[in-house]
Structure 1
Amino acid sequence: MTTLADPVPGGRPGDVDRATSLGRKLAEQGVYGIVLSYVDTAGVGRVKTVPTAKLASAAAWGVGMSPVFDTFLANDSIVATDVLGSPDGDLRLYPDLDRLTVLAGQPGWAWVPVDRITQEGERHPGCARTFLRRIVRETAERHGITFKAGIEIEWAVGQGAAPDGEFVPAATGPAYGATRQIELSDFGADLLAALGRQGGGVDQFHPEYAAGQFELSVDPLDPVAAADLSVLVRQTIRAVAQRHGLRVSFAPAVSAQGVGNGGHVHLSAWRGGANLHAGGDRRYGMTADAESFLAGVLARLPALTAVTAPSPASYLRLQPSQWAGVFTAWGRETRETALRVITGTAGRHDQAANLEVKPVDLAANPYLALGCLIAAGMDGLTSTAALPEETTGDPVRLGAEAAQARGVRRLPTSLGGAVAEFRGDELLRATLGPVLADAVIAVREGEIATVDGLDDERVAAAYRWKY
């Protein structure tokens, strides 16, 4: 389980002693440094590192880092809000010891996610991980509902020796093909071994559709742990690939044409140990609460894309008829709808049934994405929102009348359109709080300005190696 209590100056009860013991054990294992990891508003992983001997100090007093990174863009430019983006101030990074992991792909290092608090010991209102912890805790306390989540990871593998900035696929076999798996067999085996040593809970690993593309899915965890694992798995993939002379990109689109990299979210709501997405009397075994949860997410998808598809490159990926889910529609096992209802195989419904959210990519901060998806779904659940008619097949083939009857419309086709929807969504902005909501808007608008005047290929190139 993930630590849900907020950090405090001096350390939470038992943390310092525990960190002291962990530090000694890590040193005995040949671990010399610890990566303190968080994700900024632009979706970029940021880190500080400390020697293993300083873990106890970090658990007690944190490690300093400027709050300016909350308004960094993917290219490291800085934008500002009324409270963020200045050179003033400091924050403390506190490691979550429950999630500390020895990095099998980076010998001599361990990794741990952090929460950020102010020097005065208060929650930092711009900390995405703290935001998600709060959402998870409050939902359990107020409604008795917990969640299981998993984030799919798709990435493109390129030749490490390719000309600077270019993407040359490291595998040329067909989509889902045995040839491609064989071409990168050694890399794949080493990756699975590293993730296994880290306890990553890998469920599947296979070649995907686009050139040089692979996908990995993991077992479901509580939402905070699921977001942590998404960050950790990507760090491990990158490290193992580098040791094989390869270069990887998790960007939404490595080129302007073709299928991009997704980060589909799987989410299920639970009460009293029972899965609300199975065993009910509504469509496909859903309970009334599950239907309303799905309806809540569906209603806010246009605004959610500002969080789940936060890069200008995201909209190169979000194209019809490419299984990206670009219409406000749902369906059972329908891979073209934005929300895919998964019932699971007979005999496993009670454990496997879940909701897949498709218009998500790995430029998204996973903590923000999961927190906002849960907030949208819970708004639908508590208001007993009605789920509209199901869509089967490709929604692009619906006539205007049928689409209107189902409430099916195209998701924003640009980041600017997504930001406009987000600005108009009071629930999402209130859930994030003014500091985080304003940071989301400022960073997205900064990214839009960065690519102003660029054609699609140059947009893809601008973000190709940022994620």
Structure 2
Amino acid sequence: MSDSDPVPGGRPGEVERAAALGGELSGQGVHGVVLAYVDTAGIGRVKTVPTAKLAAAAAWGVGMSPVFDTFLANDSIVATDVLGSPDGDLRLYPDLDRLAVLAAQPGWAWAPVDRITQEGEPHPACGRTVLRRTVARAAERYGIVFKAAIEIEWAVGRGDAAGDDFVPAVSGPAYGAIRQVELSDCAADLLAALAAQGVDVDQLHPEYAAGQFEISVGALDPVAAADRSVLVRQTIRAVAGRHGLRVSFAPAVLGQGVGNGGHIHLSAWRDGRNLHAGGTARYGMTTEAESFVAGVLDHLPALTAMTAPSPASRLRLRPSQWAGIFTAWGRETREAALRVVTGTTGERGRAANLEVKPVDLAANPYLALASVIAAGLDGLASSAPLPEEITGDPARFGADEAAARGVRRLPGSLAESAEAFRADDVLRTALGPVLADAVTAVRRGEVEAVDGLDDDRVAAAYRWKY
């Protein structure tokens, strides 16, 4: 049922299913269910219901104001001509197919929600609904389905640090064994919790920046992948808290240095075949996959309003830090914005995919995936040619060579990203006018919120928001 919109009174059989689930959950000692979504600013918002009210939530939803679609990360409110007033109400409907008992939060379960109006219509600013419809259109028009995964990087801080300071909870070099040992108990508990919740983990390791770790999880359809990203972050935070630690998924925890990314991995499939492998184009791509990559490349400046949507994102998007800040692609080239991953000989049919690198975890994962897919489909529809690849670091190119190669720096400010998005008809159409206007208003609001702040103060303002 998770592939269709909720309806007042519940979809056929859903209320009965929710009642049975509620009974099972109560028998397992679960007392409440977290109903989760992500707002336009990338902040996770929730309501909760007692387990006994799960059936009522499946039938009639749970009320929440639409004003949150124009909240900023600091909880101040901007407005559009439709959103941002104190008027109105929405209904949050849990997706029972995605419900998970939270292993690190005893007594709680979790479910993502779709949002509909009191009249029973899909809420036009519901990112989860937009992503679901974008995926459905791809299947209907092109016979294509997608597999997606979102990498998660985070900084682990000491829970007893003064105020809102960040003090790394582990020491040692990047990717170092020291860090793994120092976080051993917490990391083992995290793996156990994710396994109990049905999340298949591919890798968990120390990363480059101070106190930084990364987790990679298995690919799913895009809506489920976005749900999984939200659930995994909830679990990381809960496990860390039980160990007296504090975590940040913010793009930049400090004003200088490498930040936290949230790279998107995406592959297009038709009739069980991966279009990024076994083809006659470069590196085994099919011509359709090349055009899909070309579409993403073409829309990258505007996409950053969705994939790197915080003022803190610009502290991460710096040259020569593997953040992918230039409009370029390459095979396994980690400085290019788009990295074509071919996989190892013998598993390329399964593993080949496109990695989108200028993405961080301030992004609403539903909006980020919907926008990237819409951009790729625009390239596919026009059979867009994929330009010459680059190798090495694009920062080394002089102005003339960069121009000849079509390599441009991505927007250097959130204001520029917002303007690029406002001028991009493909992405605005993909989101619809209500949500597109909300995105523009929220991005502009975030720019105004940090006006006059230096890098350190910008990092501090967002350090514990995501």
Same fold by TM-score greater than 0.5: yes
Query: What's the offset of the Cα at 1:4?
Result: 1.0
2:293 pairs with 1:294: yes
In the alignment, which residue of structure 2 is the partner of 1:21?
20
Kindly report which structure 2 residues correspond to 1:138-149, keeping only aligned pairs within 5 A, or say none: 138-149=137-148
Q: Secondary structure at the match of 1:280?
A: coil
Q: Which residue of 2 aligns with 1:160?
A: 159
3-state SS in 1 of match to 2:230: helix
SS across alignment from 1:48: strand
CA displacement at 1:401 relative to structure 2:
2.7
Per the alignment, residue 205 of structure 2 pairs with: 206
2:450 aligned residue: 451
* Cα distance in 2 between the residues matched to 1:387 and 1:16: 49
1:389 matched to 2:359? The reply is no
Map of 2:232 onto structure 1: 233
Letter in structure 1 aligned against 2:443: R
2:249 corresponds to which letter in structure 1? F
Question: Partner residue of 2:375?
Answer: 376
1:266 equivalent in alignment to 2:262: no
Q: 1:402: how far off?
A: 2.4
Counterparts of 2:456 and 2:420 in 1: how far apart (Å)?
26
TM-score (norm 1): 0.99
Q: What SS is found at the alignment partner of 1:3?
A: coil
Q: Secondary structure of 1:310's match?
A: coil
Alpha-carbon distance in structure 1 between the residues aligned to 2:425 and 2:370:
15
2:121 alignment counterpart:
122
Counterpart CA distance in 2 for 1:326 and 1:393 is: 13
SS in 2 for 1:111: strand
Tell me what 2:420 maps to.
421
Deviation at 1:178, TM superposition (A): 0.3
The aligned residue for residue 218 of structure 1 is 217
Instruction: Output the amino acid matched with 1:321.
Output: S
Q: Structure 2 CA distance, aligned partners of 1:406 and 1:118?
A: 48
> Which residue does the alignment assign to 1:343?
342
Pairing of 1:244-263 with structure 2 (within 5 A) = 244-263=243-262
Cα deviation 1:17-76 (Å, max 9, x = unaligned): 110110000000000000000000000000000000000000000000000000000000
TM alignment of 1:36-51, pairs within 5 A? 36-51=35-50
- Rounded to whole Å, the distance in 2 between the matches of 1:17 and 1:407 is 57
Alpha-carbon distance, 1:405 to partner: 2.1
Equivalent residue number for residue 150 of structure 1: 149
Equivalent position of 1:327 in the other structure? 326
Cα-to-partner distance string for 1:371-401 (whole Å, 9 max, x where unaligned): 0000000000010000000000000112323
| 1:277 counterpart letter in structure 2 | H
Q: What SS class does the counterpart of residue 186 from structure 2 fall into?
A: helix
SS at match of 1:157: strand
**Residue 403 of structure 1: how far off its partner (Å):** 1.5
Equivalent residue, structure 1, for 2:192: 193
Give 3-state SS (helix, strand or coil) of 1:296's partner. Answer: helix
CA displacement, residues 101-126 of structure 1 (integer Å, 9 cap, x when unaligned): 00001000000000000000001001
Aligned-pair CA distance for 1:206:
0.1
Superposed CA offset, 1:392-420 (max 9, x none): 00001123232222211000111011111
Shift of 1:137: 1.0
Say which SS state the counterpart of residue 266 (structure 1) adopts: strand
Are residue 284 (structure 1) and residue 283 (structure 2) matched?
Answer: yes
Q: SS of 2:251's equivalent? A: coil
Aligned counterpart, 2:170: 171
CA distance in 2, matches of 1:406, 1:221: 34
Instruction: Give the secondary structure class of the aligned counterpart of 1:240.
Output: helix
Match of 1:432 in 2: 431
* Long gaps (5+) in structure 2: none
Letter in 2 for 1:291: E
Secondary structure of residue in 1 paired with 2:82: coil
TM-score calculated relative to the size of structure 2 = 0.99
What pairs with 1:3-18 in structure 2 (closer than 5 Å)? 3-18=2-17
Q: Percent identity?
A: 77
Indicate the larger mover: 250-259 or 137-146. 137-146
User: Hey, what's the Cα distance between the residues in 1 that align with 2:409 and 2:336?
Assistant: 11
Q: Distance in 1 between matches of 2:95 and 2:117?
A: 16
AA in 1 matched with 2:155? A
| Aligned-partner SS, 2:3 | coil
Matched, 1:78 2:77: yes
Aligned pairs (5 A) from 1:96-115: 96-115=95-114
Q: Number of matched residues?
A: 466
Alignment of 1:398-409 (within 5 A): 398-409=397-408
The amino acid of 2:80's aligned partner reads T
Q: Distance in 2 between matches of 1:219 and 1:282?
A: 27
Return the letter of the residue paired with 2:145.
T
Please report how far the alpha carbon of residue 230 of structure 1 lies from its aligned counterpart in structure 2 after TM superposition: 0.2
Q: What is aligned with 1:67?
A: 66
In the alignment, which residue of structure 1 is the partner of 2:182?
Answer: 183
Per-residue Cα deviation, 1:180-201 (whole angstroms, up to 9, x for no partner):
1001101000000000100111
Partner of 2:409: 410
Aligned residue number for residue 365 of structure 1: 364
What does the per-residue CA deviation read over 1:119-159, in whole Å, with 9 as the maximum and x for residues that have no partner? 00001001000110110111111211000000000000000
Matched position secondary structure for 1:87: coil
Q: Which residue number in structure 2 is paired with residue 90 of structure 1?
A: 89
Instruction: State the 1:462 CA deviation.
Output: 0.1
Cα offset for 1:262? 0.1
Q: Which residue of 2 aligns with 1:304?
A: 303
The separation in 1 between residues aligned to 2:420 and 2:406, in whole angstroms, is 16
CA distance in 1: counterparts of 2:191 and 2:430, whole angstroms = 37
Tell me, in whole angstroms, the C-alpha distance in 2 between the residues paired with 1:406 and 1:382: 24
Cα distance in 2 for residues equivalent to 1:120 and 1:38: 20
